[in-house]
Amino acid sequence: MRFSNFLFPDSMSAADDGRVIDETLQEARLTDALGFDTIWLAEHHFDGIVAYVDPVAFAAALAVATTRARIGFAVAQMALHHPIRMAEQVALIDHISKGRLIVGLGRGTAYNIYDYQGYGIDHTEAQARFEEAEAIMFEAWKGKPVEHHGRFFDLKLPELRPAVFTKPHPYVIRAAATEHGMLDIARRGNPFMMNVQSNAVTASRMELYRQTLRGLGMDEATVAAKADECWVWRNVFVAETDAEAERIAVPAFIAMHEHRVAMRKRIYAEQGASILPMPPEGAAQPAHASVEHALVYGSPATVAEKLAPLRASGVGGLIMQFRLGPMSYEQTAASLALFADKVIPAMGQPAR
């Protein structure tokens, strides 16, 4: 199983931005030194829930700051990116990192309308923009002249430079927040990234994913290989004892989700604008905001036990967010080190 660190750093105020960005670079270097497989980057705008904001620019920094870990987008919001600019940037980072880049793509946030408003994009066009932009990028990476006349983009270029380092193009994977989205990816025969779900939903979707691949005529070895390329997200905190982990992780997780919805609520109060209906006060938390389903915390032995069902689901990789909300860099670094030194061996895999 592959273990990774999702750098999703909260900055609670503009005054904190520079410090948190510096600490996130430090966390990336530590993650690389500890032997984690991948460092993932997110994209959100205008609210401080991802301090570095832009995963493409930050990936270029990490390509220089690290030496071995792969660097992935989880995900780049393609509705907000011009496909030729994105294709050039990806090709450049592919060279700088010597092929370590994972191009994780999604349409854009399903929650924060202000991400689209700030870029002058109609959020109802996000999926269509994503589909058109992705197709253009694949065409551009072929290294031939491109002429495209579509709904959103009207382009003509002689050749994309630099040419990609990874042939025929850098590794691309899509994210799916819903079962419908996962099935669409599975029907194309591709792996996917799953957002935070309960263990039961995770296992169900992975089984449905495998069934869909079998329906395409894939043999069991191919199905298992495709499932091994899939990733699932959890928030993780490790301490020496269960009590210490609970004391630090649970309040930090709750504060993180309060911060993530604060701007959404403010915009709704000011504009009456929201992508999804705003939940009524007191409504049950969705899985991604639930301590029970989204947060894995405890001693190394406890965390290994809690992660076992994910391994049993057949998913090949864990996208783990270690820094939660206002948690300090020092607390995060200690958790990362304990995971590498004690949780991974406890799960039956070699220590670094």
State pTM to two decimals.
0.97
pLDDT value for 350: 65
pLDDT value for 349: 77
Q: Kindly report, residue by residue over 54-84, the tens digit of the pLDDT.
A: 999 999 999 999 999 999 999 999 999 999 9
Distance CA 242, CA 232 (A): 23
For 45-57, the DSSP string reads: -SSSSSTT--HHH
What one-character DSSP code corresponds to residue 341?
Answer: I
Domains of the chain, earliest start first: 2-346 (3.20.20.30)
pLDDT value for 133: 98
Percent of the chain at pLDDT exceeding 90: 97
Judge whether residue 351 has pLDDT over 60. no
Mean pLDDT for the stretch of residues 237-242: 98
pLDDT value for 304: 98
Mean pLDDT for the stretch of residues 341-347: 96
Judge whether residue 334 has pLDDT over 70. yes
Give first-to-last CA distance, the chain, whole Å.
13
What one-character DSSP code corresponds to residue 164?
Answer: P
| Beta partners for residue 237, in sequence order | 297
Distance CA 343, CA 113 (A): 38
pLDDT value for 151: 98
Q: Count of CB atoms within 10 A of residue 158's CB?
A: 8
Judge whether residue 352 has pLDDT over 60. no
In Å, the largest CA–CA distance within the chain is: 61
Give residue 89's identity as a one-letter amino acid code: Q
Judge whether residue 208 has pLDDT over 60. yes
Mean pLDDT for the stretch of residues 173-187: 97
Judge whether residue 244 has pLDDT over 80. yes
Judge whether residue 192 has pLDDT over 90. yes
Judge whether residue 203 has pLDDT over 90. yes
User: 285 or 51: which carries more pLDDT confidence?
Assistant: 51
* Phi/psi at 50 (5° precision): -130, 105
pLDDT value for 11: 98
Q: Kindly report, residue by residue over 29-39, the tens digit of the pLDDT.
A: 999 999 999 99
Contacts of 300 (CB under 8 A, 6+ apart): 238, 338, 339, 342, 343, 346
Q: pLDDT band for 98, please (50, 70, 90 cuts).
A: very high
Mean pLDDT for the stretch of residues 230-240: 98
Question: Omega before 168 cis (within 30°)?
Answer: yes
pLDDT value for 281: 83
Q: pLDDT band for 282, please (50, 70, 90 cuts).
A: confident
Percent of the chain at pLDDT exceeding 70: 99
Reference 263, options 1, 4, 2, 14; nearest CA is: 14
Mean pLDDT for the stretch of residues 240-263: 97
Across all residues in the chain, what is the average pLDDT?
A: 97
Please name the residue ranges forming H helices in 97-219: 113-118, 126-140, 179-187, 199-215
Mean pLDDT for the stretch of residues 214-232: 98
